[in-house]
Structures are given as C-alpha cells and as structure tokens.
Amino acid sequence: MLDLMGLTADEGEVYRQLVVAGTASAEEISGRSSLTTSATQGLLLALEARGLVCAVEEGPGWFAAIPPEVALVPRLQRHSDALEQARAAVFELVETYRRRARAWSGAEAIEIISGAAALRQHLRQLQDGARHELLWFCKAQYVAMSPESNQEQFEAQARGVLYRILYEQDYFDDPGSLDNVVRGVRAGEVARAVPRLPLRMAIADRSVAVLPLASSDAPPGNRRDLRAVLVRESSLLDGLITLFEHHWEVGAPLRVTDEGQIGEAGPTDAASLAPEDRHVLSLMVAGMTDEAIAGQLRVSKRTIQRRIQGLMSVAGVATRMQLGWHAARRDWI
C-alpha cells in the first residue's frame, strides 16, 4: 500500500526492512529479500534523497529509517487532502448536472440525431445504459439497425433488463423476422403483435426515447440523410410512454413453441382458461397471498407461483398487477 505514498514496491520493501531492523546495510537487506546488493544500494540512495532514510555511523553503507510518523504521515495527510478536494469537485459537478437537469427547457428535452451511423450508436448506448426496462415499437423494414445485428438486446436481457416489444403485422414479412422474434422471446423478451404501429421508437427506463423520423416507405440501409429525435424526460416523453402502453393493451401476446415456432397467443377469454386457473386468478385479484391461495386449493405454494407465472407469460405481462388488469379486461375472471 506504500505505493499511495509514491513508493515503488521495491522501495517500500527496503523501507520496511529498515523499520524492522533499525539499522542495516545494503548487504544485510539483500540477504533478507530477493533484491541484489547493488539494486538495494541504489534503492537506499533513492530513499535517502527523498528523506525517508538516513546514513548512520555504524559504518559506511549503513542506513536507518526515518520514523514513519515523520516520513510518511505528512505524505498521507497531503494525499488525503487531495482526495477530499477531488471528492468535493466531483460532487459539485454532480449537483451542477442535477440542477441543469431540473431546469431543462423544452428545447433541451429534444436532441436531433443525424445519420444512420449516429442513430445506431444512440440505440446501442440506449440499451447499454438501460437498467430496468426497454419499450420498443418494431415496424417493418429497419432504417438503421438490422434486428440480427442488435446484440446489445441480449446483453441487456442477460443482466436483467426487461424487453417489452410490439411488432406490427408487416414486420413478419421481412426476411428472417420470425427467427429474430423467436430468439428474443427465448432470451426473455415479452412480445406482442398489433396490426399496425404509428412510428418506430425505443424507450429506456421511461427516461429517454429515440424515434427515427424516416417515413414508413423509407428503404433500409445506411442513409446519411436519416434523422431521428432523442427525447428526454418531459411531457412529450410521457405521451410516448402512454402511446406505447395503449398499443400494448390491445396487442396479441406472442409465444414460442417447443419447436421454435411462433405459436398461438394463448387464451383470450374465460372459456379457454382451465377452471383452476380462473379460480387462482380470482383469489389473486381478491388480494390473497400465494400461501393463502395454496391453502384454499390444497396445493403447494410453489404450484400456485408456477401457475401465476404461467398466466403472466400467456398474458404477456411483467407484473401481477398487470396480470390482474389483463384478466379483468379479457373477462378471464
């Protein structure tokens, strides 16, 4: 740890040897370490020049350590003072940034992105920085980032980020689109389909959105004249989140079969649900705990949890609250 005082590992070892021995020559220190005598002699002279050791009268080439409280404690205090000053500067920058964020005007909430390459970079950064949830509108014909090149999605999903993705019907006409959806769902993506989406967009953690401005008939590829908008926290972003949730409510959940195909979306009405599932849903919506439901149905708590998790997967929702809302809307209970 003496490297914090500006000492190399070898210098620190020589100084320790002198502190233990009281006085010693280069030959003696060399005999107790892996250093050669000549190297030890050079280190002693360097330490002497820095005021950490001094020559003694025992004989030529003998040295003693300057007491640590004299040689090192003042250095440690200077280092601590410098660290505290750096800490204060960093927190001042943090507070300045927060003040600026709170004072954003409408113009500062919107940023124009120019070019397909810049848009791809922003989409990658959006996913790399996500910590909780990605909301995505996927339309047919990508304009900047092809679905198969979006490895950032799987890296984000691997660290626990929930992807909720809405696909419009025409998306599935693109080559390889079904394989991309299957791969995403198997990695944990929650997917739904709607007949048509109004725009392309991605929203990370409900705090920032990216919207390409290309029209629906714009060709895919590496267009330099492509424009997009980055939207930060604002009433506009709130509106985009509401737009997503509105389409999500009416979307048909997508499941992947064991054979790797897009299967049926699952039950859509009460008649297609098993009576046991309807009973579990009614008890859950009534506010009963898993343990109480299990006792009521005389099954294990784990069985109830698996059944509810399965219903959440069928409904394409991420929380029990969403499941309760979905069940009521679809007349499952």
Let me know if residue 84 belongs to a domain.
no
Q: What is the DSSP string of 174-208?
A: STTHHHHHHHHHHTT-EEEEES--S--EEEETTTE
Q: What is the pLDDT at residue 31?
A: 83
Check whether residue 259 and residue 283 sit in a common domain.
Answer: no
Check whether residue 36 and residue 131 sit in a common domain.
Answer: no
Structural domain ending residue among the three candidates 263, 295, 318: 263
Check whether residue 204 and residue 130 sit in a common domain.
Answer: yes
Confidence of residue 236 (pLDDT cuts 50, 70, 90): very high
Q: List pLDDT tens digits, range 24-61.
A: 888 888 888 888 888 888 888 888 888 888 888 766 78
Check whether residue 247 and residue 278 sit in a common domain.
Answer: no
Confidence of residue 104 (pLDDT cuts 50, 70, 90): low
Residue 126: which CATH number? 3.30.870.10
What angle is formed at CA 330 by the lines to CA 326 and CA 333, rounded to 5 degrees? 90
Let me know if residue 162 belongs to a domain.
yes
Q: How many CA atoms lie within 13 A of 247 on its CB side?
A: 25
Let me know if residue 120 belongs to a domain.
yes
Distance between CA 2 and CA 62 in Å, rounded? 23
Which residues, including other chains, have CB under 8 Å from residue 240's CB and lie 6 or more apart? 201, 203, 209, 211, 231
First to last CA, the chain: 66
pLDDT for 193 beyond 90: no
pLDDT for 190 beyond 60: yes
> Looking at the DSSP assignment, which residues form a beta bridge with residue 212?
228
Mean of the per-residue pLDDT values of the chain:
82
Check whether residue 202 and residue 147 sit in a common domain.
Answer: yes
pLDDT for 218 beyond 70: no
Let me know if residue 77 belongs to a domain.
no
Q: Which of 27-36, 158-167, 208-217 has the lowest mean pLDDT?
A: 208-217
Let me know if residue 14 belongs to a domain.
yes
Task: Count CB neighbours of 31 within 10 A.
Answer: 12
Percent of the chain at pLDDT exceeding 90: 22
pLDDT for 265 beyond 50: no
- Global pTM? 0.51
Q: Domain containing 207: what range?
A: 107-263
Residue 41: which CATH number? 1.10.10.10
How many residues appear in the chain? 333
CA distances from 63 to 26, 89, 104, 137, 319 (A): 8, 42, 64, 74, 71
Q: What is the pLDDT at residue 99?
A: 67
Check whether residue 254 and residue 114 sit in a common domain.
Answer: yes
Check whether residue 45 and residue 134 sit in a common domain.
Answer: no
Contact 180, 148 (CB under 8 A): yes
Check whether residue 146 and residue 19 sit in a common domain.
Answer: no
Confidence of residue 100 (pLDDT cuts 50, 70, 90): low
Check whether residue 56 and residue 126 sit in a common domain.
Answer: no
Check whether residue 226 and residue 313 sit in a common domain.
Answer: no
Q: List pLDDT tens digits, range 122-157.
A: 999 999 999 999 999 999 888 888 888 889 999 999
Check whether residue 122 and residue 256 sit in a common domain.
Answer: yes
Structural domain ending residue among the three candidates 45, 71, 97: 71
Q: Domain tally for the chain?
A: 3
Let me know if residue 140 belongs to a domain.
yes
Q: What is the pLDDT at residue 107?
A: 55
Check whether residue 245 and residue 128 sit in a common domain.
Answer: yes
Q: What is the four-CA torsion angle of 11, 16, 17, 22, rounded to 10 degrees?
A: 120
Let me know if residue 79 belongs to a domain.
no
pLDDT for 96 beyond 90: no
pLDDT for 158 beyond 70: yes
Q: What is the pLDDT at residue 155?
A: 93
Q: List pLDDT tens digits, range 300-324.
A: 999 999 999 888 877 777 778 778 7
Percent of the chain at pLDDT exceeding 70: 86
Structural domain ending residue among the three candidates 27, 54, 71: 71
Let me know if residue 41 belongs to a domain.
yes
